[in-house]
Amino acid sequence: MRRLTKIAAASAVLSLALTACANDSDTAAEDDLCGGGGDGPNVGLAYDVGGRGDQSFNDAAARGMEQAKEELGATCTEAQAQDGEPESAREDRLRTLAEDGHDPIIGTGFAYSLAVDAVAPDFPDTSFGVVDGFDPTGDEANDNVAYLGFAENEGSFLVGVAAALKTQTDHVGFVGGVHNDLIKKFEAGYTAGVEAVNPDITVDVTYIEEEDLSGFADPAGGKAAAAAMYENGADIVYHASGGSGSGVFDAAVEAGDDMWAIGVDSDQYLTASDDQKEHILTSMLKRVDTATFNEIKSVADDKPLSSYQSYDLAADGVGYSTSGGYIDDIKDQIDEWAEKIKSGEVEVPSTVK
């Protein structure tokens, strides 16, 4: 009994400590995003799991905020979601931001949908924005909520084209953070893009977590998944796994020359380490920054956005990056596909076959 207690105590403490380490990605203390603005909107910015410093999804929202600070004189308060937190914690976070007079309040990540739906009616004069969000009730949508949606499948299609044109082994991979419908949308677009160029190319697909959102903050999991793909013969791996992506890049570095990774959401070449840079072919851009900025601007202009806002390829809501210059030779071909998507000639599937 006493021995068991000691073992149990050690493992309980270890698991708490590991959680603390895994989430230790916030660089909030290092650079001050919120201070130094003018008399623009006072933004409440609630990040998803992973938070600022994930060099991907949440950082894209932060860039939108930064632009708003420069152009609109906006100020802000940041807050971050915790892995495994209760619904009430998200609600409490939004309520506190609203009570402190923030407007607009932006939740990054669809996990905020329920909380916004519960909080928004109590603050009718405050505007809310939810990146990737949706109205969970489906009946009476709140007028003061904007759902900022993206055509991730279209952007993923383009990097799929890039992968198909660049692969030497006719074998590419996809690492998803969590096996949910949103990430399956990335997979669907990517696979369709690869197939559009060459249907004979093999696409390996792995998800880090089936359901648990920790899959977006698990670099070790991302690395393991990608390393297996490189070993199996893939030479390009696209990740849609938020903060876990740095592990995918590390796997590419370790796999050696001519092994590539494709970033997601932000232009990840810009934030990668020097040895990772040589392996980041391109990044699928999901312009969360544009959406965040537009939401803040709409409040500054006194015409707050409401209901569903669609950021697709035609609206420059998604795209791909060229930093590093590794895909300059195929840029024309990718842009041709982009035009076809914009004109409606090519329709990109949003669900996995």
307 binds other proteins (CB under 8 A): no
179 binds other proteins (CB under 8 A): yes
Nearer to other proteins, 286 or 297 (CB): 286
CA distance linking residue 309 with residue 141, whole number of Å: 14
Q: What is the 3-state secondary structure (H, E, C) of 202-263?
A: EEEEEEEECCCHHHHCCHHHHHHHHHHHHHCCCCEEEEECHHHHHHHHHHHHHHCCCCEEEE
122 binds other proteins (CB under 8 A): yes
Contact pattern for other proteins over residues 210 through 229, marking x by CB under 8 A: xxx-----------------
Contact pattern for other proteins over residues 245 through 264, marking x by CB under 8 A: --------------------
**Number of residues in contact with other proteins, rule: CB under 8 A?**
61
CB 272 → other proteins: shortest distance, Å? 24
Structure tokens at 174: 């996809």
| One residue of 43, 76, 107, 110 binding other proteins per CB under 8 A | 110
353 binds other proteins (CB under 8 A): no
- Token pair 């740095």 is found at 246
Stretch that binds other proteins, among 203-211, 261-269, 285-293, 319-327 (CB under 8 A): 203-211
Q: Do 301 and 70 contact (CB within 8 A), yes or no?
A: no
Amino acid letter for position 291: A
CB 270 → other proteins: shortest distance, Å? 24
Amino acid letter for position 69: K
Nearer to other proteins, 12 or 220 (CB): 12
Amino acid letter for position 317: G
CA distance linking residue 266 with residue 63, whole number of Å: 9
Sheet-wide strand order for 105-108: 75-80, 42-47, 105-108, 128-131, 145-150, 307-311
Tell me which residues touch other proteins (CB under 8 A): 1-2, 4-9, 11-13, 15-17, 19-20, 23-24, 26, 28-29, 77-80, 82-89, 91-93, 95-97, 100, 110-111, 113-114, 122, 132-136, 138, 147, 179-182, 184, 209-212
